[in-house]
Structure 1
Amino acid sequence: MFRIVLKYGVIAGLIVGAALVGVSLAYDGQPPRDWGMAAGFASMLVALSAVFVGIKRHRDSAGGGVIRFWPAFGLGLAISLVASVIYVAAWELSLVLIDTDFAAMFAAQMIERAEAKGLAGDALAEAVRKAREFEAMYRNPLLRMPMTFVEIFPVGMLVSLVSALVLRNPRVLPAR
């Protein structure tokens, strides 16, 4: 089972990591807001389809075409964990490669959004204070890495849940 976790976790991690690094380099760390987040989550879903394939592979080879929900869900979470760690490493690599101050850039965007909402006076000052707090926090890798991990792992949990629910039925894509 460890081989399946590692194999499919690395496959998923490399797919989503390559997409992340590629988009980061192409747009200097700032993809267009209108589609950047949607593209990011779409790449996560595509990459995490390896969870489904890994669970099915284990069900067919080790389980003789049968797997219970909890073992399937656990296997999916383990694959997602490996993929998420690679995703975090890819983001850290992206920060080095784009060579811009991402924390300052994101804080500036937070302030721009507050101004666009029409905030002024104390409300704007509060938004600026929160943006500066975020900037300082994001510069700390011990805080940034878990934040990055939480971007992808919940998606992996959802894919693991759906995959386990679907693949516990041996009539769904039966072993050949």
Structure 2
Amino acid sequence: MWPTFLKYGVAAGLVAGSALLAVSLAYGGQPPPSYGMALGYAAMLVALSAVFVGIKRHRDCAGGGVIRFWPAFGLGLAISLVAGLFYVAAWELAMALIDKDFAALFGRMMVERARAGGATGEALAQAVEQAGRFERMYRNPLYRLPMTFAEIFPVGVLVSLVSAAVLRNPRVLPARG
């Protein structure tokens, strides 16, 4: 199982990380909010299709065409874990290459959103304070790294869950002789 989850996890991580790096560099660390998040999650889904392929490959080669739900789900989680680590490394590389203060950039965007939403007085002061708190926390790698990992891993859990549920049935995409 080690070679399977490493191979497919690295593949998923390289795809997700490359997409993140490309978008981050193209937009200077701040893709347009209107479609940036949708683009990011679409790239994650494409990358995490390796979970399905990895589980199926393991089922067909090592399991003789059969795999139970929990081993399949565990394999999917392992692939997602490796992909998530690559994703985090890609984000750190993107931040180093962009050479902008992402925390300050995002903090300013939080304040601008509050202003655009009509916040004034105390509500605006609260938004400024929240942005400052975010900036301080995000500069700490012990906060930033798990936060970045939490962007992709829940998607991997969902893909693993669906893949394990589908592929536990040996009649779904049966192994070819």
**TM, length-normalised to structure 2:** 0.99
Counterpart for residue 126 of structure 1: 126
Question: What aligned pairs does 1:60-71 form with structure 2 within 5 A after superposition?
Answer: 60-71=60-71
Residues 1:171 and 2:171 are matched in the alignment: yes
Residue in structure 1 matched with residue 13 of structure 2 by the alignment: 13
| Distance in 2 of aligned mates of 1:32 and 1:86 | 24
Q: Which amino acid aligns with 1:131?
A: A
Aligned pair count reads 176
Moved over 6 A (4+): none
Tell me by how many angstroms 1:149 deviates: 0.4
What code does the residue aligned with 1:108 have?
A: R
1:80 aligned residue:
80
- 1:70 deviates by 0.3
User: What is the SS of the residue equivalent to 1:136?
Assistant: helix
Which structure 2 residues correspond to residues 27-42 of structure 1 after superposition, within 5 A? 27-42=27-42
Post-superposition offset of 1:33: 1.1
Partner of 1:170: helix, strand, or coil?
Answer: coil
Structure 1 residue 76: deviation in Å? 0.1
Q: CA deviation at 1:9?
A: 0.1
Query: 2-side partners of 1:4 and 1:57: how far apart?
Result: 8
Q: Provide the C-alpha distance between the structure 1 equivalents of 2:39 and 2:30, rounded to a whole number of angstroms.
A: 13
- Once residues 145 and 171 of structure 1 are traced to their aligned partners in structure 2, the CA distance between those partners, rounded to angstroms, is 40
Question: Percent identical across equivalent pairs?
Answer: 74
Paired AA for residue 137 in structure 2: M
**In 1: Cα distance, 2:82 partner to 2:25 partner:** 23
> How many Å apart are 1:30 and its aligned residue?
1.1
Question: What is the match of residue 103 of structure 1?
Answer: 103
Q: Report the Cα distance in structure 2 between the residues aligned to 1:167 and 1:7, rounded to whole angstroms.
A: 19
Q: Residue 32 of structure 1: CA displacement?
A: 1.0
Give 5+ residue unaligned stretches, structure 1.
none
